[in-house]
A and B are shown apart, each in its own frame.
Chain A
Amino acid sequence: MFVHLKDVSYTYNLNMPFETVALKGINLKVNRGEFIGIIGHTGCGKTTLLQLLNGLIEPTKGQIFIENVDIHKNKKKLKEIRKKIGLSFQYPENQFFEENIFKEIAFGPKNMGVAEEQLVQSVKKSLQMVDMDYQSFKDRSPFSLSGGEMRRVAIASILAIDPEVIILDEPTASLDPQSCSKLLSVIVDLYQKYHKTIIMVSHNMEIMAKLARRIIVMEKGEIIMDDTPRNIFQKSIDRLEDIGLSLPQVTYTMYKLKKIGKPVSSGILTVEEAKEEILKLVNENKK
């Protein structure tokens, strides 16, 4: 087991009049090679959870183990933790500050103590991972890029640290559809081709259903569901609707079909599956 959160709670402004509980009693285990999607409303504690995983904030209660080491026992080790677990915040392009893309991406590895000669190598590699050409981009200003390119450079700047786990907070937020699907294919590559463990937060249920292998549903600072997408979108539809989370559109359509008495299977996640089911239904009707 790679990451283990044991009974973790987090409270903002502890012992102040504005005290707010963000997380309570979180137990979570993440193994290598997982693709985890976290869904939940704004303010349910997702972002706090991501920051805890990266050691940016210290839990007010409970412990976080990474490779069986309590990360807050030894503060000096935190940098090593961040080398293993890369965190990309929401709108990561808001942290750009360098004059060219090379320097921007090299910032991380440089901080982590990568030697000057190896920087070129790691920048090249991380640009390649986000499907961008090293030669044509390295000297450009990060501020001259399009929204989608900026996002990918920002993610490359995390990848340059060469983390095993990549945490993405709303990676597709406010991107146009084309940049969005490009970015998603990059994320799929990171998972399948480069064997990174991925933890991703998104409001887009379609993306979650398609990509994630395990979905964690959070509400009011607690994990209320933790299962495969199929199980979650099959068994817990009513529960999800209760807390006001939407389903992927296909899943919802098929669910409604079933509700009006059509013999289709529920828990459909992709358009492809839905097509099969509907064709089956149409053919049966023909007979």
Chain B
Amino acid sequence: MMFFRNITIGQYIYRDSIIHKLDPRVKIITVILIITTIFLVNSWTGFFIIGFYLFINISLAKVHPKFVLKGIKPLLFIISFTLLIHFFTTPGDIIYRIWILNITREGIHRGLFISVRLFYLILSTSWLTLTTSPIALTDGIEKLLSFLKIIRVPAHEIAMMMTIALRFIPTLMEETEKIIKAQIARGADFESGNLVKRIQNFLPIIIPLFINAFHRADDLAIAMEARCYRGGEGRTHYRQLSINSIDHVFIIITLFILIVSYLWVV
């Protein structure tokens, strides 16, 4: 009974690569830029250039493409669903007719565009999480958000909450699996019955999970206070982020490629 072994979204895989060594801020900004460009680009050539660029990035990261593609699997349904919706609901030149449904040229065009956009969206975000450790990621977010401190946005606290949340995802998953197993050992059945019954069946998992999570949160808070944690004011970092020449080159190349992909209309 392996319930959560197949989730790869948000997973970090360590490799000794240029991409892994990039400053997390650079990677976060890159992903934001890519996502923005994806939604601006309106030509197949542009998409092709971005796709090629993503492919290079992923191969530079030395992470097996299989892994990246695995993250897309659970979202395949959503992608194909949007594809079909666009096929049938966009008005325009009718090129094929099934029963009362019309497929239009514009529909195919827009459907494919949206699917490619979703596909790239997932690719670029998993590229980020696969190559950036959760700690580096939150450090980067904290630094990027720090200019918002002027308007009293608690950037450090937000980053700390994210770090803790990310840190406890595997722990809670492990715990869920253990609770599920323990309840199965007591004869619980999670696979049969109607909807109401099935929801009821989840109570023996959810309740202990919440109780344990609250206990854990309590313990963690006490442990942090015992070590005199009092928030972001004046706190220094063990790992100092620094942007060096590789980061500069990377961001310049990225900007160049993205601008080209946007402007290139054949």
Closest-by-CB residue of B relative to A143 is B211
A-B contact count (CB 8 A): 62
Across the interface, which residues of A come within 8 angstroms of B5, CB to CB? 13, 16
Q: Among B185, B204, B211, which residue has the most Cβ atoms of chain A within 10 A? A: B185
A57 CB to nearest B CB, Å: 7
Q: Is B207 part of the binding interface, using a Cβ–Cβ cutoff of 8 Å? A: yes
Interface pair B187/A89, CB less than 8 Å apart = no
Interface pair B181/A82, CB less than 8 Å apart = no
B187 touches which one: A13, A16, A83, A143 (CB < 8 A)?
Answer: A83
Interface pair A89/B184, CB less than 8 Å apart = no
A89 touches which one: B1, B182, B203, B204 (CB < 8 A)?
Answer: B182
Given contacts A13-B5, A97-B203, whether A86 and B212 have CB atoms under 8 Å apart is no
Q: A86 to B175, alpha carbons, bound, how many Å? A: 20
Q: A143 to B210, alpha carbons, bound, how many Å? A: 13
Q: Contact flags (1/0) for B156-196 with A, using CB distance below 8 Å?
A: 00000000000000000001001101111111110000000
Across the interface, which residues of A come within 8 angstroms of B188, CB to CB? 107, 111
Q: Is A243 part of the binding interface, using a Cβ–Cβ cutoff of 8 Å? A: no
Q: Is A191 part of the binding interface, using a Cβ–Cβ cutoff of 8 Å? A: no
B39 CB to nearest A CB, Å: 33
Interface pair B1/A56, CB less than 8 Å apart = yes
Interface pair A95/B183, CB less than 8 Å apart = yes
Q: Is B54 part of the binding interface, using a Cβ–Cβ cutoff of 8 Å? A: no
Q: A113 to B250, alpha carbons, bound, how many Å? A: 64
Q: A107 to B186, alpha carbons, bound, how many Å? A: 7
Q: A89 to B181, alpha carbons, bound, how many Å? A: 9
Interface pair B186/A157, CB less than 8 Å apart = yes
Across the interface, which residues of A come within 8 angstroms of B212, CB to CB? 94
Across the interface, which residues of A come within 8 angstroms of B179, CB to CB? 94-95
Across the interface, which residues of A come within 8 angstroms of B185, CB to CB? 54, 56, 82, 86-87, 89, 158
Q: Contact flags (1/0) for A223-235 with B, using CB distance below 8 Å?
A: 0000000000000
Name the interface residues of A146-167: CB closer than 8 Å to any CB of B: 157-158, 161
Interface pair B208/A79, CB less than 8 Å apart = no
Q: Is A267 part of the binding interface, using a Cβ–Cβ cutoff of 8 Å? A: no
Name the interface residues of A102-125: CB closer than 8 Å to any CB of B: 107-112
Interface pair A108/B208, CB less than 8 Å apart = no
Q: Among B1, B179, B184, B212, which residue has the most Cβ atoms of chain A within 10 A? A: B184
Residues in chain B within 8 A of chain A (CB atoms): 1, 5, 13, 175, 178-179, 181-189, 203-204, 207-208, 211-212
